[in-house]
Structure 1
Amino acid sequence: MNKTQRQRLAWRTGFFVLFILAPVFDLFRFDLEENHFYLLTFPWTLGIDAFRNGEISALEMALNMGLRFFLPLALIVGTGVWVAWKWGRLYCGWLCPHFSVVETINHFMRKASGKLSIWDREALPEDQADGTHIHVEKKWWWVTGLLITGFSFVWAVVLLTYLLPPREIYYNLFHGELTRNQALFIGVATFLFIIEFTAARHLFCRFGCVIGLAQSLVWMGNKRALVVGFDRARISQCTECDASCEHACPMRLKPRSIKRKMFTCTQCMQCVQACEKVHTDDPRPPLLHMLQGQCALDVSLRDFGLKPEIPADCFPPIAGTNSDSPSSNGG
């Protein structure tokens, strides 16, 4: 695990903990019983009831709507659009608690079956060019099943605490005193999450997540956004590898493809790390790099059949070659 992946693990872990604890400490949640949000421990109301009761004027109500609804919404959406425009699905790969579950289940399902999904036709190799060694044993299905069930239950309970007082939910849960509706919500949600985490977690990330799709659409609109770039001048060297970069991708994408086919890339950079490992004992630099600006056009403009001029410094030169010569646009 390189520095980038250690940083990503720290961010994902921290955000997953925040996802669980945010409603407990009233950092963010919507209380159905009180019919308003809590933000950073404070009630976050629009004052609709006060306006109906004549306690505040129409002007105060309008200010509340502007400052407590439209302004925060604009800041959140604006920040999300700006981040996605520059870096793509950065939230998905570095923070999203659902994607953390996806990657964890991928890991153990691969140990149990050699596949990242039950729908994959062929198992991945146990030994790869990037040094990965995963011995497939069916006993790992027990661990995979327990993790899927455990994550599903945790997600169901946590989502309920975003809607009802967390102390009430956890007290009732630990004392076996859940109300009928609480038990029904947790039971049904757990069942649905088990199905999703087992059979459709990648499909959800690709097509079912509104936040993810919005990031992808914004990212696709910026031809110079951060993207995985492939040094096409050395395309022949790929025959020396076993597609370790593809095997490392948790979304099961092909990192050497054009941008359109990388629509759901989460910027986790695991494919780049795999390529780096393949070249650990190779004097030649890796073929995959994260690119931005003019360097990213080789990936994005090829969607339209174009072959743009790529600056010579987009990829590190091979030792002993002329670093001033531009990379080839063939391939």
Structure 2
Amino acid sequence: MPCSVAAEPSALHGKTLQRRRRALQIGFFALFLLAPALNLLRFDLHEAQLWFLGQRWTLGIDAFRAGQITANEVALSIFLRGILPAVALVVGFLYVAYRWGRLYCGWLCPHFSLVEGLNALLAKASGKLSLWDRERLPGAQPQKRWWPAFIATALLFGFVWAITLLTYLLPPAEIWGGLLTASLTPNQARFLFIAWGLISAELLFARHLFCRFGCAVGFFQSLAWMANPKALVVSFARPRAAECRGCEPQADACEHACPMRLRPRQIKRLMFSCVQCGQCLQACAGSHAGRGGNPNLVWTVGVDALRETLRQRKEGN
């Protein structure tokens, strides 16, 4: 996990860290797609029934109506099986964000996995990571033959995403069966094609904007992270800032490596949407390795992060 980077920066700033992150992303993406089919997590609108880990997750309300349990028993069931797990999930999720930032976004989120994949294809097609970037990446050699791959990938995963969302609400066998036999109900087909269009458009044109400004999950993680001055943060060695002028293989490598289109050398409050993916650190370490020096960007956490926060506040004043 990223929290160990402060102790072993040279080992985890490189390809090993990114391989670990990619493996987690792929695993969680597969889990996201398969969870409804395996009844690991879905809500069946037909039955008004939540499925969790292959079991029907009930609060006891039906049993109470049937006279099988008392009012006290159903109240206890609602607390233990409804309120308590929900509170524990939210508190645990925000605690992780409070300590280490948007780890879910950078290390697990299926949407962010698509963001990075589409960034790579778009860079090959246009030399940019976003259609809204004004300038190409340094040294980029765009090739038009990658445009069909970029567009087709966005449309394909937009469609897969729309189907998956529908299977979280209705039985997967019903949705896939209706799709293969062209027997979806009008409402199912309407939901599918509207969702496909919206998701595909977002992936093509606004994926970074959604992550930065439109995702509530990411927003609340960022709020929790900003509230903790000891949280994991990218620290910039400002006394050695002059070394960045010789950044190779491309100028400002850390900024061009950031999939969120942020500038990692800025202070924490301007890195509100940082997802702790570590790609800026890898780019910085790679640049300095060729010159035999230490990277200017490192992860810091705990007391070191507090010192960095206090220093930034002092400089800001």
CA distance in 1, matches of 2:305, 2:136: 32
1:251–1:264: 8 Å Cα contact kept in structure 2? yes
CA drift of 1:135 comes to 2.6
- TM-score norm. by structure 2 comes to 0.91
1:46–1:69: 8 Å Cα contact kept in structure 2? yes
Matched to 1:167, the amino acid is A
Secondary structure of the residue aligned to 1:139 is helix
Query: 5 Å matches for 1:271-310?
Result: 271-302=280-311, 304-306=313-315
What residue is the counterpart of 2:258 in the other structure? 249
CA distance in 1, matches of 2:27, 2:109: 11
What residue is the counterpart of 1:75 in the other structure? 88
Matched to 2:254, the amino acid is C
What residue is the counterpart of 1:150 in the other structure? 156
CA distance in 2, matches of 1:182, 1:122: 42
CA drift of 1:180 comes to 1.4
**Greater alpha carbon shift after TM alignment, 246-255 vs 58-67:** 58-67
Cα root mean square deviation, aligned: 1.6
CA distance in 2, matches of 1:281, 1:212: 35
CA drift of 1:47 comes to 2.2
Q: Which runs of 5+ in 2 are unaligned?
A: 1-13
CA drift of 1:192 comes to 0.4
CA drift of 1:169 comes to 1.0
CA drift of 1:56 comes to 2.2
CA drift of 1:306 comes to 4.7
What residue is the counterpart of 1:141 in the other structure? 147
CA distance in 2, matches of 1:173, 1:185: 13
CA distance in 1, matches of 2:38, 2:203: 28
CA distance in 1, matches of 2:23, 2:179: 30
1:260–1:300: 8 Å Cα contact kept in structure 2? no
1:84–1:219: 8 Å Cα contact kept in structure 2? yes
Cα displacement string for residues 276-314 of structure 1 (whole angstroms, at most 9, x for unaligned residues): 111222221111111112221354335533589xxxxxx
What residue is the counterpart of 1:188 in the other structure? 194
What residue is the counterpart of 2:220 in the other structure? 214
CA distance in 1, matches of 2:316, 2:199: 44
CA drift of 1:207 comes to 1.5
What residue is the counterpart of 2:272 in the other structure? 263
User: Residue 182 of structure 2: which of 176, 182, 186 is its match?
Assistant: 176
CA drift of 1:102 comes to 0.7
Query: 4+ residue runs of structure 1 moved beyond 6 angstroms?
Result: none
CA distance in 1, matches of 2:16, 2:233: 19
Matched to 1:6, the amino acid is R
What residue is the counterpart of 1:62 in the other structure? 75
CA distance in 2, matches of 1:215, 1:172: 38
Percent identity between the two aligned chains: 52
What residue is the counterpart of 1:13 in the other structure? 26
**Greater alpha carbon shift after TM alignment, 237-246 vs 9-18:** 237-246
User: Residue 47 of structure 1: which of 60, 74, 80 is its match?
Assistant: 60
Matched to 1:13, the amino acid is I
CA distance in 1, matches of 2:62, 2:214: 35
Question: What is the total number of aligned residue pairs between the two structures?
Answer: 301
1:260–1:303: 8 Å Cα contact kept in structure 2? no
CA distance in 1, matches of 2:76, 2:274: 40
Secondary structure of the residue aligned to 2:206 is helix
Question: Which structure has more RCO (C-alpha within 8 Å, separation ≥ 6)?
Answer: 2
1:248–1:270: 8 Å Cα contact kept in structure 2? yes
Secondary structure of the residue aligned to 1:279 is helix
Matched to 2:223, the amino acid is L
1:227–1:291: 8 Å Cα contact kept in structure 2? yes
1:230 aligns with 2:230: no
Secondary structure of the residue aligned to 1:263 is coil
Matched to 1:192, the amino acid is L
CA drift of 1:258 comes to 0.3
Matched to 1:155, the amino acid is W
Question: Which structure has the highest helix share of the two?
Answer: 2
CA distance in 2, matches of 1:86, 1:100: 22
Matched to 1:3, the amino acid is T
What residue is the counterpart of 2:97 in the other structure? 84
Cα displacement string for residues 45-65 of structure 1 (whole angstroms, at most 9, x for unaligned residues): 112233234332111111111
CA distance in 1, matches of 2:291, 2:281: 15
Secondary structure of the residue aligned to 2:289 is coil
1:25 aligns with 2:38: yes
What residue is the counterpart of 1:325 in the other structure? none
Q: Which runs of 5+ in 1 are unaligned?
A: 127-133, 309-331
1:110–1:136: 8 Å Cα contact kept in structure 2? yes
CA distance in 2, matches of 1:66, 1:290: 40
